[in-house]
Amino acid sequence: MSAVLPPALVLMGPTASGKSALAMRLATALPVEIVSVDSAQVYRGMDIGTAKPTAGERRAVPHHLIDIIDPTEAYSAARFREDALRLMNEIHARGRIPLLVGGTMLYLKALREGLSDLPQADPAIRAEIDREAAARGWPALHAELAHVDPQTAARLKPNDAQRIQRALEVYRLTGRPMSALVGSRETAPPFRLIEAALVPGDRAVLHARIARRFDDMLKAGLVEELRALRERYPLHAGLPSMRCVGYRQAWLHLEGEYDAAEMRDRGIFATRQLAKRQLTWLRAMRDLAIFDCLAPDMGERVLRFYLRALGQ
C-alpha cells in the first residue's frame, strides 16, 4: 500500500549540521515546499537565536510553520502533527513535494507514529506540582518521575520544568506513565516518508560549528533581539519560548545573573547538549538514511538518495 502513497521528504539532524542550507540546495533540484520541524522557529520575532531562513530564502522557496505564534503562546507536538499533515496535503494538491526539515525530534515522532489521547491539563494538579517544585526543586521531581516513568525521565533534563510537570500530571491523572501512552495509538501519516538524517562523522567539528554559530548570533544581536521582545511582549522566564537554547542564557544575562562571557559559554554548552540529545533520538530511529554532514559531497549524496526514492 505504501507505494501508492504520495511522497514526503524528511531531512533531520542536530543543530548546526547544515540542514537549512541543504534544504535550499535541494529546492533548486526538486519541486519542494519546506515545512519546518522546529519548535523554536514557530515564534514571531525570535529570528536570530533560532537561525530562521532569511526573507530572501523564504521568497525563493515556500516555507511553512515559521512565525505562526507569539512568544507568549505555547505550541505542542499534537498541534504540529495536525498543522504539518494539513500543509503536506495542501502541498501535494499543488503538485509539489513536502520537504520536512528540522531538529525537533519529538515533532517527527508525533508525525510518524501519531499521539495517543493524552488527558487535558488539570490546573489543580499542575498547581500542586508547582508547589512541590517550589519546596523541593525540579531535580527532586525529576527523580520522582524516574521512579514512575523512567523512559520519559531519561530523555528530560532534571530542571526541564515544563516537561517534568506534564509527565507527572499525566501519571497522576491516569496512573500510567506518559511513555506508555504517547504513540500508543499508532496512526501512520498518509504519506510515504523518505527520511534522511545528517550526522557528523567527527563530533568535535560539530562542536566547533556550534561555537562559531553562537558567536555569530551574539554578533548579530541576539541579546538586543531579546531585549526588544521583552519590551514588546509580557514575557517571563517560564514560557516555553524563553526556555529555548540561547534565549534562556540571554534572559539570565539581562537579569544580571550572567556576564557576557558566562552567557556565551553557557549558551554554547547548552547547544552542544541539545545536539547530543538530537543525536540520541536519531540513533533510536529506524529506516533513516544516514549521511555525514561533514562530507564534502554530502549534498550530492542526499540529492541522489531522494531522486532514487522518488524513482527519478
Which of 142, 50, 161 lies closest to 103, judged by CA? 50
**For the chain, what is the mean pLDDT?**
93
Amino acid at 263: M
Dist CA 3 CA 95 (whole Å): 17
Dist CA 169 CA 125 (whole Å): 6
Dist CA 35 CA 58 (whole Å): 11
pLDDT of residue 174: 82
The pTM score is: 0.81
**Burial class (CB within 10 angstroms; exposed 0-12, middle 13-18, buried 19+) of 158:** middle
Name the band, by pLDDT with cuts 50, 70 and 90, for residue 76.
confident
Provide, rounded to the nearest whole percent, the portion of the chain with pLDDT above 70: 97
Residue 117 in this model has a pLDDT that exceeds 80: no
pLDDT of residue 4: 83
Residue 1 in this model has a pLDDT that exceeds 50: no
Backbone conformation region of residue 114, classed left if phi is above 0, alpha if psi is from -120 to 50, else beta: left
pLDDT of residue 2: 44
Residue 116 in this model has a pLDDT that exceeds 70: no
pLDDT of residue 290: 96
Dist CA 208 CA 204 (whole Å): 6
What is the distance between the terminal CA atoms of the chain, rounded to a whole angstrom?
20
Residue 82 CA neighbour count, 13 Å, CB half: 5
- Quick: pLDDT tens for 150-209: 999 998 999 889 889 999 998 888 888 888 776 545 578 999 999 999 999 999 999 999
What are the start-end ranges of the H helices in 114-159? 123-136, 138-148, 150-154
pLDDT of residue 3: 52
- Which residues are CB-contacts of 147 (< 8 A; sequence separation ≥ 6)? none
Name the band, by pLDDT with cuts 50, 70 and 90, for residue 230.
very high
Name the band, by pLDDT with cuts 50, 70 and 90, for residue 26.
very high
pLDDT of residue 200: 96
